[in-house]
Amino acid sequence: DTGVSQDPRHKITKRGQNVTFRCDPISEHNRLYWYRQTLGQGPEFLTYFQNEAQLEKSRLLSDRFSAERPKGSFSTLEIQRTEQGDSAMYLCASSQDSNLETQYFGPGTRLLVL
Amino acid sequence: AQTVTQSQPEMSVQEAETVTLSCTYDTSESNYYLFWYKQPPSRQMILVIRQEAYKQQNATENRFSVNFQKAAKSFSLKISDSQLGDTAMYFCAFLSGTYKYIFGTGTRLKVLA
């Protein structure tokens, strides 16, 4: 299966620690997106990349959050100095140039900040 | 700003019956896309069906069909012959311009045996 993969699937951390998540998109997909989903809510957009360029960032992405896609393939999302409010599911999605409108989602990384 | 509203937090349906999930949206755009995604328990989101706003014909995918009412800004999902595997959260999503999805809060559907 060559779908979107995310690692780790679950992360428990203590408040104040840094965490990093990885997303591997479908191989021929140039666009990569990060969303955050809290309990009982739909996913909310965080940021997206066209190849290695980060083209848009949501206001939800505070300065403690940083995302990279260094070679236009996989992406990382880092949260520094985690807070309990960061607890959520972090979803990655990708899409291809010939079908930009349809995004394919990974299984997500569930973060719990204690 | 665009918004998506799903007014049914939970629904249930008997196996083999038909169920309709509601979604309304607000936008001033004329060109956009609408989607229904399914998120089974502890599994990833899967695209169920998509609709281009410029198309008048309602999209269908096997047992899934939509009722797209552009003037009313309504986009409901009908699931026919419901199966146990249809049990999931269903999210309505809107897309225009910048390619970021705007999701509704979801409807939890339970199919009863």
* pLDDT tens digit sequence for A39-81: 888 999 999 999 999 998 998 888 999 999 998 899 999 999 9
Mark yes or no for CB contact A42/B4 under 8 Å.
yes
pLDDT tens per residue, range B78-107: 999 999 999 999 999 999 876 789 999 999
Partners of B79 in the beta sheet?
B19, B64
Strand order in the sheet with A65-68: A5-7, A19-24, A75-79, A65-68
User: Which residues on chain A place their C-beta less than 8 Å from a C-beta of chain B?
Assistant: 3-4, 31, 33, 35, 40-45, 48, 56, 58, 91, 95, 100-108
Residue A97 in this model has a pLDDT that exceeds 90? no
Give pLDDT, residue B50.
Answer: 94
Question: Which class for B48: exposed (0-12), middle (13-18), buried (19 or more C-beta within 10 A)?
Answer: buried
- CB of A15 closer than 8 Å to CB of A114: yes
Between residues A5 and B1, the one the model is more confident about = A5
Per residue in B9-65, pLDDT (tens digit) is: 999 999 999 999 999 999 998 889 999 999 998 788 999 999 999 998 999 999 999
The pLDDT, as a whole number, for residue A1 is 53
d(CA A4, CA A74): 10
- Average pLDDT of chain A, as a whole number: 93
How confident is the model at residue A104, as a pLDDT? 94
Nearest-CA residue of chain B relative to A96? B99
Q: What's residue A61's pLDDT?
A: 85
Give the chain B residue nearest A55 (alpha carbons): B98
What's the CA gap between B70 and A99, in Å, rounded? 23
